[in-house]
């Protein structure tokens, strides 16, 4: 790493390859087997084999253009052989070069793992030992827990981002601040300003944070105030882009390098995702503003009191040591229990059920199941599995009047989803005068995931619940229902006398659009395609 490379002003840029903490954890898991070994091109090759084998990375120009490979990639029950992975690597040359790494796949490796290095989750360099840090192991462990430990993940991300500077030694940026701390400081100033009526930071003001040159939160706050006094909250991207070019000591001769679309859109989205991954930031106004998550107000106060908005590092090793250390106090700070989470969650659910049309909800359901991006300013920042729970809950509220819908996903103080429902409870609990119904949703379409990880626990929970209320049933929702999942549901219907109704998203939309009560979904059992209870009876006798 060239510590003396000349620095210049650049916009804050997080790697879009690592949009979510779960993806970071997945990539860390692929390098974990080589921890303690010297990084060589041979080790890099093995890491790449792991990534392609686990389907964390796919080459667009080769792997996804060959029908047999494309089918394996999208089929959760299929896997690549070693020879197939080697063929993909051989026929997918990478025209990429990073300092200190050979051109091609070794440089691609560095682009994948550099952000994790910057966040303090691991250290590596060519011919140096690979080391996954304490926080890196914490992130891996959090995702390996069942259910996933969302609070630990947020704490790990918060621990990284309250330290992460724009001018870290891997970026060499003349802009010098800690983006999260700067944001919290500016939000605090806006909170103290009675004329702002508690408004947070407007989405179109975020490019200022992306390009801000120093740690002067007061000056940034005053800049925002001046803009609001001049044009309010109604101005073009060109308006803010001109200001950002000035902050970068640039003009339109550098427009190709500092693209408006990057600064005013792509960088903004990544900024919000990363800040929100810490758990201390909420969305307001349908995604138009970001603000404190007041459930975590004690953590916010702790950060504001103990973390500076800039820090100087004398060496790469000093930076890595600081970033990889864990602030144990962050792990101990509890959420504000004065906020009724269940009430806030339900209020927001019913609010959006009125604001969104049923057509939009159905369209977004189809998008998330087809892995298509949402353009909605709020939904786009909710990760796909959690978004599926939220959208399913909205559809139930909208289509089934009189049904008491109670989702169990985690929320911020605005009631917007932050993570999927935890273990031991249904994703969505619903009640009416006739039945208790429980909805479990997943994006997983593989046989093992659906049967072993979903249907088996659903059966256990439903049997237990029916001891208290006989008139109870469960619905299992996924983009595509595996045939074995349907057979398992029929099996439990026959032997355990319980109703687990598997529906793909298309069937779900069709059925709830034509019924008035959730219990009418029970008729699904009488029109199972290709139902063959005779085979089940034979299996029982055997």
- Sequence ranges of the domains in the chain: 16-153, 179-332, 341-541
In a structure prediction context, what are the per-residue pLDDT tens digits for the chain, which is 542 residues long?
Answer: 444 456 789 999 887 778 889 899 999 999 999 999 999 999 999 999 999 999 999 999 999 999 999 999 999 999 999 999 999 999 999 998 999 999 999 999 999 999 999 999 999 999 999 999 999 999 999 999 988 898 999 999 999 999 999 998 888 889 999 999 999 999 999 999 999 888 899 999 999 999 999 999 999 999 999 999 999 998 999 999 999 999 999 988 888 889 999 999 999 999 999 999 999 999 999 999 999 999 999 999 999 999 988 877 778 899 999 999 999 999 899 888 888 999 999 999 999 999 999 999 999 999 999 999 999 999 999 999 999 999 999 999 999 999 999 999 999 999 999 999 988 899 999 999 999 999 999 999 988 889 998 999 999 999 999 999 999 999 999 999 999 999 999 999 989 999 999 999 999 999 999 999 999 999 865 444 444 444 433 333 33
- Give dist(CA 91, CA 61) in Å, integer: 9
Q: Kindly report the number of other CB atoms within 10 A of residue 150's CB atom.
A: 20
Q: Kindly report the number of other CB atoms within 10 A of residue 253's CB atom.
A: 8
- Give dist(CA 63, CA 72) in Å, integer: 10
pLDDT for residue 524? 62
pLDDT for residue 18? 82
- Give dist(CA 349, CA 361) in Å, integer: 12
* Domain 341-541 = CATH 2.40.110.20: no
Say which residue the tokens 């049933």 belong to. 473
pLDDT for residue 539? 35
pLDDT for residue 525? 53
The answer to whether the CB of 418 falls within 8 A of the CB of 158 is no
DSSP state of 443: S
pLDDT for residue 529? 47
The angle formed by the CA atoms of residues 380, 259 and 207, to the nearest 5 degrees, is 55
Smallest Cα–Cα separation from 525: which of 495, 499, 492? 499
Q: Kindly report the number of other CB atoms within 10 A of residue 332's CB atom.
A: 9
- Give dist(CA 351, CA 416) in Å, integer: 11
- Give dist(CA 352, CA 330) in Å, integer: 33
* Separation of CA 336 from chain center: 23
- Give dist(CA 231, CA 133) in Å, integer: 47
- Give dist(CA 160, CA 165) in Å, integer: 10
Residue 221: exposed, middle, or buried by beta-carbon count in 10 A (0-12, 13-18, 19+)? buried
Smallest Cα–Cα separation from 427: which of 476, 465, 468, 383? 476
pLDDT for residue 171? 83
* Separation of CA 519 from chain center: 33
**What is the bridge-based pairing of β-strands 404-407 and 410-411?**
unpaired
**What is the bridge-based pairing of β-strands 436-441 and 428-431?**
antiparallel
With helix as H, strand as E and coil as C, how does 22-72 read?
HHHHHHHHHHHHHCCCEECHHHHHHHHHHHHHCCCCCCCCCHHHCHHHHHH
Alpha helices in 248-340, H assignment, sequence order: 260-261, 267-276, 297-306, 316-324, 328-332
The answer to whether the CB of 237 falls within 8 A of the CB of 264 is yes
Smallest Cα–Cα separation from 392: which of 498, 282, 460, 478? 478
Q: Kindly report the number of other CB atoms within 10 A of residue 432's CB atom.
A: 16
The answer to whether the CB of 61 falls within 8 A of the CB of 17 is no
pLDDT for residue 6? 66
**What is the bridge-based pairing of β-strands 436-441 and 472-478?**
parallel
- Give dist(CA 500, CA 508) in Å, integer: 14
Does the bond joining 147 to the residue before it have cis omega, within 30 degrees of 0? yes
Say which residue the tokens 């106090």 belong to. 329
- Give dist(CA 30, CA 414) in Å, integer: 36
> CA Rg, the chain, in Å?
25
What are the respective helix, strand and coil percentages of the chain, to the nearest 5?
A: 55, 10, 35
pLDDT for residue 1? 42
Smallest Cα–Cα separation from 396: which of 317, 297, 508? 508
Q: Which pair of structure tokens corresponds to residue 278?
A: 């810490």
- Give dist(CA 213, CA 83) in Å, integer: 49
């Amino acid at each position: 790493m060239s510590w003396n490379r000349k620095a210049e002003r650049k916009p804050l840029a997080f790697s879009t390859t690592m949009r979510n903490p779960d993806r970071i954890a997945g990539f860390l898991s692929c390098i974990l087997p080589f921890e303690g070994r010297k990084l060589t091109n041979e080790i890099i090759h093995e890491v790449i084999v792991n990534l392609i084998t686990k389907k964390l990375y796919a080459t667009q120009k080769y792997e996804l253009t060959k029908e047999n490979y494309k089918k394996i990639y999208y089929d959760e029950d299929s896997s690549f052989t070693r020879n197939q992975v080697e063929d993909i690597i051989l026929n997918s040359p990478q025209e990429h070069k990073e300092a200190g790494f050979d051109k091609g796949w070794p440089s691609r490796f560095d682009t994948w793992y550099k952000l994790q290095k910057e966040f303090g989750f691991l250290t590596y360099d060519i011919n140096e030992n690979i080391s996954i840090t304490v926080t890196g192991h914490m992130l891996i462990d959090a995702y390996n827990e069942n259910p996933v430990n969302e609070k630990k993940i947020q704490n790990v991300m918060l621990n990284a981002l309250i330290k992460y500077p724009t001018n870290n030694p891997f970026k060499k940026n003349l802009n010098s601040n800690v983006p999260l701390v700067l944001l919290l400081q500016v939000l605090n100033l806006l909170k103290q300003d009675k004329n702002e009526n508690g408004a947070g930071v407007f989405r179109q003001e975020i490019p200022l944070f992306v390009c801000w040159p120093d740690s002067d939160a007061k000056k940034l706050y005053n800049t925002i105030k001046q803009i609001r006094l001049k044009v309010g909250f109604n101005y073009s991207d060109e308006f803010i882009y001109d200001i950002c070019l000035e902050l970068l000591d640039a003009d339109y001769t550098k427009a190709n390098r500092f693209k408006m679309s990057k600064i005013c859109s792509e960088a903004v989205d990544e900024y919000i995702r990363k800040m929100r991954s810490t758990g201390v930031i909420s969305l307001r106004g349908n995604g138009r503003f970001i603000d404190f998550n007041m459930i975590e107000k004690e953590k916010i106060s702790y950060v504001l009191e103990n973390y500076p908005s800039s820090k100087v590092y004398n060496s790469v090793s000093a930076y890595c040591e600081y970033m990889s250390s864990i602030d144990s106090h962050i792990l101990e700070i509890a959420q504000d229990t004065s906020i009724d989470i269940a009430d806030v969650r339900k209020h927001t659910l019913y609010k959006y059920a009125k604001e969104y049309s049923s057509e939009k909800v159905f369209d977004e359901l189809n998008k998330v199941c087809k892995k298509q991006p949402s353009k909605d300013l709020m939904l786009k920042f909710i990760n796909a599995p959690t978004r599926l729970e939220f959208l399913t809950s909205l559809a139930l509220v909208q289509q089934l009047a009189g049904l008491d819908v109670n989702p169990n996903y985690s929320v911020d103080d605005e009631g917007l989803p932050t993570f999927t429902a935890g273990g031991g409870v249904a994703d969505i609990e619903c009640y009416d005068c006739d039945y208790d119904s429980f909805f479990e949703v997943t994006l997983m379409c593989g046989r093992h995931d659906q049967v072993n990880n979903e249907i088996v626990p659903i059966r256990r929970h439903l049997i237990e619940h029916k001891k208290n209320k006989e008139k109870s049933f469960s619905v299992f929702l996924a983009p595509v229902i595996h045939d074995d999942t349907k057979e398992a549901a029929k099996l439990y219907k026959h032997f355990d006398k319980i109703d687990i109704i598997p529906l793909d998203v298309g069937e779900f939309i069709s059925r709830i659009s034509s019924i008035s009560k959730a219990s009418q979904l029970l008729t699904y059992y009488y029109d199972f395609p290709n139902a063959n209870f005779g085979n089940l009876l034979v299996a029982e006798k055997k």
